[in-house]
Structure 1
Amino acid sequence: MTAELSKGDRENLLEFFKVVAVRDGHTAAECTLRSSKRQNCPNPNAFIEELEEAFTFWGTPEGDVVHPAECMEQVLEKVRHHKVNIDGNICTVIVTTLVLEGWQRKLDPSYNMMGTLRALLFKADWAKSLSYTIEGIMAP
Structure 2
Amino acid sequence: FLQEDNFIHADMHPGNILVRLNESKNKRKTFFRSKPHIVFLDVGMTAELSVADRDNLKQFFKAVAIRDGRTAAKCTLRLSDNQSCPNPAAFTEELDKTFTFWGTPEGDVFHPVECMHQLLDTVRRHKVNIDGNICTVMVTILVLEGWQRKLDPRFDIMETLKTLLIEKEVKQPPPDYFG
TM-score (norm 1): 0.87
Question: Normalised by the size of structure 2, how large is the TM-score?
Answer: 0.69
| CA offset digits 1:33-76 (Å, max 9, x no partner) | 00000000000000000000000000001101100010000000
Q: What are the equivalent positions in structure 2 for 1:98-137 lying under 5 Å apart? A: 98-122=142-166, 123-124=168-169
- Segments of structure 2 that go 5 or more residues without pairing to the other structure are 1-9, 11-45, 173-179
Q: Deviations over 1:59-111 (max 9, x none)?
A: 00110110001000000000000000000001100110011001100111111
Report 1 or 2 for greater relative contact order, CA contacts < 8 Å, sequence distance ≥ 6.
Answer: 1
Alpha-carbon separation, structure 1, partners of 2:118 and 2:163: 24
Question: Which is strand-richer, 1 or 2?
Answer: 2
Deviation above 6 Å: which 4+ runs of structure 1? none
Q: Does 1:95 align with 2:117?
A: no
Sequence identity (%): 69
The 5 Å alignment of 1:48-67 reads 48-67=92-111
Q: What is the deviation of 1:120?
A: 1.8
Residue aligning to 2:88:
44
Distance across 2 between alignment mates of 1:43 and 1:99? 30
Superposition CA RMSD, Å: 1.4
Structure 1: tracts of 5 or more residues without a match = 128-140
